[in-house]
Amino acid sequence: MRIISIALLISVVSVAPISSTSHAQSRQSGEYWYSTYCGSCHGKAGKGDGPVSKSLSKAPADLTRLSEANGGAFPFGRVADVIDGRQEVGAHGTREMPVWGRALRFGPTIVRDRVRAIVAYLSTLQGK
């Protein structure tokens, strides 16, 4: 019985990725979700200079200046509303079909958590 338990433990440990905790945490970070859904247009640093930006008819917003444009306070709620489609932005698409589809549409808790993570990450980019 002891040999079977040890063999089972070894097989589970050998299959589990070594960095599973850090990988799971990185997938939950706002920086990860921003990079996944926003970076192609808004750029890695949020300046509006992503690789897709040159092909757009309207330049993406410089997301590092959101606080500046809001009297020095980061507009958490308004930014969340834009990301999840509750507030329309022409370049993002309609509320029914934002450019990123259902991935960030207001609704399920997991989506709200992603949006909150992105908003929190964007708040750290202000003034950079």
Band the pLDDT of 94: cuts 50, 70, 90. Answer: low
Is the pTM of the predicted complex or chain greater than 0.75? no
Question: Model confidence over 13-42: pLDDT tens digits?
Answer: 333 333 334 444 466 799 999 999 999 999
For the chain, what is the HEC assignment? CHHHHHHHHHHHHHHCCCCHHHHHHHHHCHHHHHHHHCHHHHCCCCCCCCCCHHHCCCCCCCHHHCCHHHCCCCCHHHHHHHHCCCCCEHHHECCCCCCCHHHHCCCCHHHHHHHHHHHHHHHHCCCC
